[in-house]
Amino acid sequence: MIRFLAKYRHQTTAIIIIALIAALTYLAIQSKNVRMSEYDNDTYSGLAFGTSVKKTIYMDSASARQEVSNSIDELLKDLDERISYRNPSSEIASINKAYAVDGTVTFSPDIKEYLSREIEICNETEGAFSPCILPLSMLWGIEDGYSKPPSQAEIDETLLHIDPSDIEIVDDGVIFHNDGMKIDLGAVGKGIAADEVMDELSRQKVPGAIVSIGGTIAVYGDKGKGRPWHVGVQDPRGEDGKVLGVLEVDGGNVVSTSGDYEKYFEIGGKRYHHIFDPKTGYPADNGLISVTICTNDGFLSDALSTACFVMGLDKGLQYAEDKGVDAIFVTAEKKVYITKSLKRRFNIRNDEYELAKK
């Protein structure tokens, strides 16, 4: 036997090496399979910011998943109470009631920053996005169930009190140079919430989660499957939950959608929705029915989905490209336009829609 091994020592060595490689490969595959099914998950539902909330948490422990879900609920509740103009004790509501024209109003540092960012986006979009459109939204009352357009005289009067140039950011706070003005973080509120949810998930050392707050979705970490997340984009003319297409998203990003299908009423076949053009005082009417923005900044994602919707396809698409965000524009003709960055990461799953190019 010894003479046999000596005689065929090279062949024997090769066989041993092959066997070792096979064993190591098997172990690597098994290890990968363990990693690919590493995390269990639970899904929790709730309400915040006047909309539905859905949280899917990926963690090993069921009790830990429940604890994270509870902490997110508490976070959203506190944030909603602090920044919602509808909450009479919120900082926003207090300022809207009590400011004096040409007097300096002091904000909390974070709210002052949010308002400053809104004004910056307002300037970049030539007024398509406004931080002080609340009087117009309240006049129309679509979010409160109104179903009749206001008169032109009422609209004209309200337009006099929603000019962002009448808001001045100063070191000590903010100065309003017009009466009847009201500020609102509604167009960025869910984005702000998504950013805070991401921070909370990081603090809790959650491996992966996907949290939807109405039309804004925070995607965090991974599922333990080594694959990117996939987020469905709502069909603007389909039932709730019916998708137009699927977007591939890496953890750490927020996806926000604004559309004319969310809150609206119809008269004589014309749809009046809740996304207003600050220049006309009417719901934006430029052929778009939804805009989706994906970026790693929830505030920006939420703001730009509204801004780009109001800007329209040509200006909105160019603005999204300039800002370096992923964007999906859907027209009333059911044509879909995307930024160059989404060429291989967005797939239409609905035959009623077609991908188009500018």
Report the pLDDT averaged over residues 2-9. 46
Q: Residue 173's pLDDT is what?
A: 85
In the structure, what pLDDT confidence band is assigned to residue 226 with cuts at 50, 70 and 90?
A: confident
Query: Would 85-184 and 228-355 be classified into the same CATH topology?
Result: no
Mean pLDDT lowest among 2-11, 243-252, 261-270: 2-11
Q: Residue 49's pLDDT is what?
A: 87
The span from the CA of 315 to the CA of 246, in Å, is 24
DSSP state string for 279-290: TTSSB--SSEEE
Report the pLDDT averaged over residues 103-111. 92
Total residues found in the chain within this entry: 358
The span from the CA of 301 to the CA of 218, in Å, is 10
In the structure, what pLDDT confidence band is assigned to residue 11 with cuts at 50, 70 and 90?
A: low
Mean pLDDT lowest among 128-132, 238-242, 320-324: 238-242
DSSP state string for 204-225: TT-SEEEEEETTEEEEEE--SS
Report the pLDDT averaged over residues 50-64. 94
- On the question of pLDDT at 20 being above 90, the answer is no
Check: CB of residue 353 under 8 Å from CB of residue 334: yes
Q: Residue 260's pLDDT is what?
A: 97
In the structure, what pLDDT confidence band is assigned to residue 36 with cuts at 50, 70 and 90?
A: very low
Q: Residue 9's pLDDT is what?
A: 53
Q: Residue 6's pLDDT is what?
A: 47
Query: How many angstroms separate the Cα of 38 from the Cα of each of 134, 202, 252, 271, 351?
Result: 47, 18, 20, 47, 36
Residue 338: its H or E element? strand 335-338
Task: Give the pTM.
Answer: 0.88
Q: Residue 19's pLDDT is what?
A: 47
CATH code of the domain occupying 85-184: 1.10.3980.10
- On the question of pLDDT at 8 being above 50, the answer is no
Amino acid identity of residue 49, one-letter, is F
Report the pLDDT averaged over residues 185-190. 95
| Fold held by 228-355 | T-fold (3.10.520)
Q: Residue 253's pLDDT is what?
A: 98
Q: Is 80 helix (H, G, I), strand (E, B) or coil?
A: helix
Domain ranges of the chain: 2-36, 85-184, 228-355
